[in-house]
Structure 1
Amino acid sequence: MPEASPSAPQRLTIAEFTDNYGPAHSGILYAVQFLEEQVLAAGHKVLLVAPEAKGPNPHAGHPNRREIRLPSVAIPGMNVRLSMGQDFDYRLAQMVANPPDVIHVHGLGPIGLLGMWVAERTGRPLLVTWHTDFEAYADHYWHVAPFLNAAYKLQELHRAESTWAELKKLKLKRPRRGGAQVALLEVASKMLTDADLVTTPSGKTAKRVLEIAPSARVRVVPNGTDALPELPPVRRGRGPRLIYVGRISLEKSIDLVLAAFELVRDERPDAELAIVGDWKNTSAGLRRQLQRAARSGGVILPGQIPREKLGAWYASGDAFVFASITDTQALVLHEAAHAGLPFVMVDHELRLVVDPGANAVLARPNAVSLAGAMLSMIDALADPAFRASASARSRELAARWTIANQSREMIGIYEDMAAGRDVAISEGIAPEFGRRVFPTRRVTAPFDPAEPAQPALPSSARPPLPA
């Protein structure tokens, strides 16, 4: 790479390693693509390393971007594809011969482990972004742990300069739930500890990282998202409409939303629930539940909607229902907040755009409590003053976490890491873990989520039913 003039910033090559880049739409997919867009806009280059998979790819063909797509297989029961190590040797040699300036790994998976391996062989700085609550995901997807453990064993064999003959001796053990979960978290701990820096999209996730890897160097950098194009709302009934937008999968607790909404309909037969997402490719059991709910009335299943058209669905809703406790930030919450929607939530830790009492009602993770929260929000929205203030509060909070704000921070991190400069880590995330010791070249910066005061809902609002 030619040397840059003193007055011009150096053009960097940032390698983004991700195991989640289609075929399904997901928050991780969009987070990586938003970041790619901003890196390219800043004049740097992007090398994307991902499994072979069809999916939305708005940056294909950009002159400063190239891809390495690795052979992959579909994982039963999940709308994802996983690379199992084919071509890793060749691609490793390719990247060692022409190394990127910074290696950015997005979560745990075989390609994420390949990114660690490249960083180790090239001596380039390693940044890991932890997008996923793996303790929660391990409970739902423990059966994929043997695949990830095999990929980690692959890396260990290469570290020892072992041969493919030795690799062929690897055998996937029949997965057992408890052992698979523990093994998955052991791999996660190794990755987080080895990274030069770990970024997380929320303080909630930073705490989880420190539970898994107490000596990890963590910085909170929320993912940014901007408002979707405003569109006329899709047709709706005369009653209140609750809405969910996102992946339709087990860990999103869609079954809990359906059970709670059935109780809501007992009191508000005119209520609607729109569940927007690809429900046809979810698990068979959940798919049957959704079909039964739609036949019973009140539940609308429009399927996967192109992102540029989602604004019409957000505009049609009165409140956004989110029952997942596995999300680390949930970009759909930010999209809903940009659209001015208030929230009915089960997760009490996601607070970037959620201000309980001002624009949200919180529930416990059971159907009765969630139904009570839904009814409480419906009653509160009957007050025009509360409706207006809740909408304004959602928009105000969403405006803090834009793509531009996130990208400025991430590009600064890339440039500092590439130049060998000190990179700040977040302190005050989890004081219960006690004093944390880091290499002396690290500097610290406090993480302040700036949680505002939480006024109560209007007195006319219905209190949630008992948990």
Structure 2
Amino acid sequence: MQNKLFVAQYVDNYGPGSNGLMVAVQQLEGNLLDAGHEVLVVAPQAKGMNPHEGRAGRTEIRLPSIRVPKMPTRVANGNKFKRTINQVAALQPDVIHAHGLGPVGVLGVWTALRTNTPLLLTWHTDFDAYADYYARVLPLLRGIVSMFARLNRGEVYDVRAIRAARLEFPDPEKASLLGLMRKMLLSANVVTAPSPKTLARALQIAPEANVVCVPNGVDPLPAGPPPVERGPGPLFLYVGRVAPEKGLNLLVDAFELVRELHPDAQLMIVGDWERYPKIAKRLLAAQRGGNVLLPGEFPRNELGAFYAMADCFVFPSVTDTQALVLHEAALAGLPIVSADPELNLVLEPRQNGELAGPAPTAFAAAMLRIIDRLEEPGWRESAAQRSRELAGQWSVASQAAEMLRIYELTAQRKYEAVVRKHEDFGANRRAE
């Protein structure tokens, strides 16, 4: 075993709603504990999945939180931040790992700088992109920046830095947020990004940051009998959060165009479609129009049965930083239609799917091309094989080993070794 490590995980999104970030962080917790290391979780107070609670070697600090209006998320409100810094300083972790750029992630950076602890930062969520979809989020994020500037009294980010950011970034509404993001990226000894898309975005904000691409690992989900009845036509599947930034309106518009040529085609959306009233109204109307299935939200370990019954996975979002569901779908052998050309780890156009622009006509055309290819002899089987090959490069075991290696090197302050080894690792993986 490697030298025993104590890693402090700072995460903003730990319930009540489940999401890819929480799955990735909890998987990482389990990997560390299984390898005999110790974990501290610092997160907002919230209900939700907490599978490692009570395990030996794991402790947690929960911070006072507030609910984000109309979203399944609670965020830390800034209370007890300074006390938490002192608590963590007394515990002396080997590495602080800040997951994201929210209040708790900011606290992780502040703690690392105050205590001179090696800092690893992972960019899971592009808050800048999400702000375009949530009018209520941008004021909240700006408020967080202002609050933090008052709290830290210039240790990390202050009013002068906010003013400087407003001169450097063209969008005045986001300038202070982007300035803080850049400060966090530059403060980290190592930054990991779950996809080349996210790596490029990080370097766009902070070109001097020490960023490496480490996709989250995903294993095949267990298949099962079809959980719902389906028709004889091609079945397109979407699995994931049903939220404004996920592009569900685009998907429904595209599907309506597909049905003009293939009336027997079906679209199934697996997720909590009732959370957002406007989206729910649109999906109910589509369901009444015919051939749209809305089975609801299911636990992750039951999703394999939905993947197994589908003919193609559709992904209309352009805001995701990796999208674990793309990997799940590929491991199930599905071809993929995606609106995001930058999320291409598990998709090769024409080989196992199609890239389509974020417009209904373009997305519908890609879906129609998949329908045609599914009728070609042998294409379904070859696409399934290629999907599994691509997604199989990043298993839970392989990525756990890679992250443990990065933790070890970060704790030893061997930051250049992290980057050099990972550049070789990534190139070899994609060439296989």
Q: TM-score, normalised by structure 2?
A: 0.91
Distance 1:413 1:195, change over 3 A: same
1 or 2, which has the higher helix percentage? 2
More divergent stretch after superposition (245-254 vs 48-57): 48-57
Distance 1:278 1:450, change over 3 A: same
Look up the match of 1:255: 249
Partner SS, residue 274 of structure 2? helix
Contact kept in structure 2, 1:276 and 1:302, CA below 8 Å: yes
Deviation of the 1:142 alpha carbon? 5.1
Give, in whole Å, the separation in 1 of the partners of 2:43 and 2:428: 32
1:334 aligns with 2:327: yes
Deviation of the 1:237 alpha carbon? 1.1
1:275 aligns with 2:253: no
Cα displacement string for residues 360-413 of structure 1 (whole angstroms, at most 9, x for unaligned residues)? 112111101111111110121122400000011111111111011111111111
Look up the match of 1:55: 48
Deviation of the 1:210 alpha carbon? 0.6
Correspondence 1:40-439 to 2 at 5 A: 40-141=33-134, 143-160=136-153, 179-234=172-227, 235-281=229-275, 283-424=276-417, 426=419
Count of residue pairs brought into register by the alignment: 416
Deviation of the 1:326 alpha carbon? 1.0
Distance 1:449 1:325, change over 3 A: farther
Partner SS, residue 264 of structure 1? helix
Distance 1:451 1:417, change over 3 A: closer
Partner SS, residue 139 of structure 1? coil
More divergent stretch after superposition (122-131 vs 444-453): 444-453
Letter aligned with residue 62 of structure 2: R
Look up the match of 2:427: 448
Contact kept in structure 1, 2:356 and 2:362, CA below 8 Å: yes
Distance 1:29 1:444, change over 3 A: closer
Deviation of the 1:426 alpha carbon? 4.7
Distance 1:102 1:419, change over 3 A: same
Letter aligned with residue 265 of structure 1: R
Give, in whole Å, the separation in 2 of the partners of 1:54 and 1:179: 35
Deviation of the 1:58 alpha carbon? 1.4
Cα displacement string for residues 142-196 of structure 1 (whole angstroms, at most 9, x for unaligned residues)? 532333333334444343389xxxxxxxxxxxxxx95332322222111111111
Give, in whole Å, the separation in 2 of the partners of 1:59 and 1:99: 21
Contact kept in structure 1, 2:237 and 2:267, CA below 8 Å: yes
Contact kept in structure 1, 2:406 and 2:418, CA below 8 Å: no
Cα displacement string for residues 285-306 of structure 1 (whole angstroms, at most 9, x for unaligned residues)? 1121111111211111111111
Contact kept in structure 2, 1:134 and 1:185, CA below 8 Å: no
Partner SS, residue 219 of structure 1? strand
Partner SS, residue 279 of structure 1? coil
Partner SS, residue 140 of structure 1? coil
Letter aligned with residue 261 of structure 1: F
Deviation of the 1:133 alpha carbon? 2.9
Contact kept in structure 2, 1:232 and 1:312, CA below 8 Å: yes
RMSD across aligned C-alpha pairs, in angstroms? 2.1
Distance 1:450 1:415, change over 3 A: closer
Contact kept in structure 1, 2:393 and 2:429, CA below 8 Å: no
Contact kept in structure 1, 2:15 and 2:47, CA below 8 Å: yes
Structure 1's unaligned 5+ residue stretches are 1-7, 163-176, 428-442, 454-467
Distance 1:349 1:9, change over 3 A: closer
Letter aligned with residue 47 of structure 2: K
More divergent stretch after superposition (188-197 vs 232-241): 232-241
Q: TM-score, normalised by structure 1?
A: 0.85
Contact kept in structure 2, 1:276 and 1:301, CA below 8 Å: yes
Contact kept in structure 1, 2:64 and 2:76, CA below 8 Å: yes
